[in-house]
């Protein structure tokens, strides 16, 4: 009765209503058929079947979806069956594909597999599985797969959640071959060890080398090939950053350019902007950092602090200027490319203390908001400062403009 009432109410508000029975993967099929039938009768047009705790196996999930399609009262071609799988046992993608083979025509997925606990089904894995194994599935998604690598990087930068190197499709090692026999096979025939081309997911391989002698035209052309269309003002900013990096790094790779573009353009409004940083550290003295930040009032504020290390000292100096209580939850740093002159990329996640919250719609549990920050520089301490300021700016914008209510494009829920 409650299902019928709620679906009917939703139907009075919009034409397309999706009904999702919680923990369907562990529910009795016969009971599920009845509940779903009532949802259809009340006006539901999409039936979303979740494996909420990632418990089922692909065989079990195939049978579940197949049974729902064949046995649910009122099922017809106008009803879309959807699947929503979690990755607690590492089976989310396999279960999603099994559900699709059984007849599901909607899959709920996330970029990089981000989600509660072990995550959700990865968008890029499902899309490329359907494309690469098209003879098996015979289905199209309509997704431009050449954008997968770029959107993965964008989401990682915004959330502060790094993509593991061995992540399928979008990991940095996804198309790397180290074993000698693999390298020999790749040299003889690329398809021996690569079932898809790097270009298919937006990992472009080019012989064009950019360096300190490269001009604006070469940079614009390379960025355009990578999918970044910049106007003249944006190109001026990018070129200034490029020349600064080229003075410190002999060869600029596509990965360097992606990090540079993300650091320059994919960030919130600059409430505070790094104006200068001086760090003293080593075995002979106390790590000390002096930081200059330009504040929202346009005034440059300077503060010094000591810490357990150069990053800790830098963050303490920033905190004394910004004065926004928060907790550093995660700090990650990795080299974009190889070599002593590699660009360093830092991602952080911070949580506000007594700030904005979000509520889980199902459990009604309130969570403190978490904000991700990203920074890139050939100096890893500078990159660390940029990442922290980036996250703080998101927090400040959310608290001041949202009055405690966070806009959709800021923050990540802990769960």
Q: How far apart are CA 242 and CA 251, in angstroms?
A: 11
Q: What mean pLDDT, rounded, does the chain reach?
A: 85
Closest CA to 116 of 94, 84, 150, 148: 84
Each residue's pLDDT tens digit, 13-72: 999 999 999 999 999 999 999 999 999 999 999 999 999 999 999 999 999 999 999 999
* Contact (Cβ atoms closer than 8 angstroms) between residue 350 and residue 391: yes
Each residue's pLDDT tens digit, 140-152: 999 999 999 889 9
- Please say whether the dihedral angle defined by the alpha carbons of residues 51, 19, 152 and 240, taken in this order, is positive or negative: negative
pLDDT at residue number 205: 57
Calculate mean pLDDT across residues 345-351: 91
Each residue's pLDDT tens digit, 148-204: 988 998 888 777 788 888 899 998 787 764 444 443 444 444 555 567 888 888 886
**Furthest C-alpha separation in the chain:** 78
pLDDT at residue number 191: 54
Highest-confidence range of 177-181, 309-313, 410-414, by mean pLDDT?
309-313
pLDDT band at residue 401 under the 50/70/90 scheme: low
Closest CA to 348 of 366, 325, 370: 370
Q: Token digits for 190?
A: 């690329």
What is the separation of C-alpha 133 from the centre of its chain, rounded to a whole number of angstroms? 25
pLDDT at residue number 267: 62
| pTM of the complete model | 0.70
Task: Identify the weakest region by mean pLDDT among 232-241, 276-285, 394-403.
Answer: 394-403
């Amino acid at each position: 009765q409650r299902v019928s009432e709620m679906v009917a109410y939703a139907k009075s508000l919009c034409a397309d209503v999706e009904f999702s029975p919680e923990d369907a993967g562990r529910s009795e099929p016969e009971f599920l058929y009845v509940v779903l039938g009532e949802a259809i009768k009340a006006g539901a047009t999409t039936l979303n079947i979740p494996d909420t705790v990632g418990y089922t196996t692909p065989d079990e999930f195939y049978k579940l979806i197949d049974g729902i399609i064949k046995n649910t009262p009122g099922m017809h071609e106008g009803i879309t069956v959807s699947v929503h799988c979690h990755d607690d046992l590492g089976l989310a993608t396999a279960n999603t594909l099994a559900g699709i083979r059984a007849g599901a025509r909607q899959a709920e997925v996330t970029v990089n597999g981000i989600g509660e606990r072990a995550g959700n089904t990865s968008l890029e894995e499902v899309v490329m599985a359907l494309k690469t194994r098209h003879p098996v599935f015979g289905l199209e998604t309509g997704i431009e797969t050449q954008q997968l690598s770029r959107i993965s990087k964008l989401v990682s930068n915004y959330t502060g959640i790094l993509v593991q190197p061995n992540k399928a499709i979008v990991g940095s090692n996804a198309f790397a071959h180290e074993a000698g026999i693999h390298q020999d096979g790749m040299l003889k025939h690329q398809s021996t060890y690569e079932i898809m081309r790097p270009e298919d997911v937006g990992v472009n391989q080019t012989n064009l080398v950019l360096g300190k002698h490269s001009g604006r035209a070469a940079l614009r052309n390379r960025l355009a090939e990578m999918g970044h269309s910049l106007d003249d003002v944006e190109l001026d900013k990018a070129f200034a950053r490029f020349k600064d990096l080229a003075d410190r790094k002999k060869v600029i790779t596509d990965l360097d350019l992606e990090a540079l573009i993300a650091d320059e353009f994919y960030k919130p409004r600059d409430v505070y902007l790094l104006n200068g940083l001086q760090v003293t550290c080593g075995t002979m003295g106390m790590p000390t950092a002096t930081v200059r930040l330009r504040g929202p009032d346009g005034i440059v504020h300077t503060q010094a602090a000591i810490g357990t290390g150069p990053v800790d000292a830098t963050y303490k100096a920033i905190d004394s200027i910004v004065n926004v209580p928060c907790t550093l939850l995660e700090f990650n740093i990795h080299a974009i490319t190889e070599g002593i002159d590699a660009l360093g990329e830092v991602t952080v996640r911070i949580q506000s203390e007594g700030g904005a919250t979000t509520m889980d719609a199902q459990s009604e549990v309130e969570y403190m908001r978490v904000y991700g920050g990203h920074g890139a520089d050939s100096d890893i301490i500078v990159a660390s400062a940029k990442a922290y300021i980036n996250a703080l700016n998101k927090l400040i914008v959310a608290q001041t403009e949202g009055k405690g209510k966070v806009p959709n494009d800021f923050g990540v829920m802990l769960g």
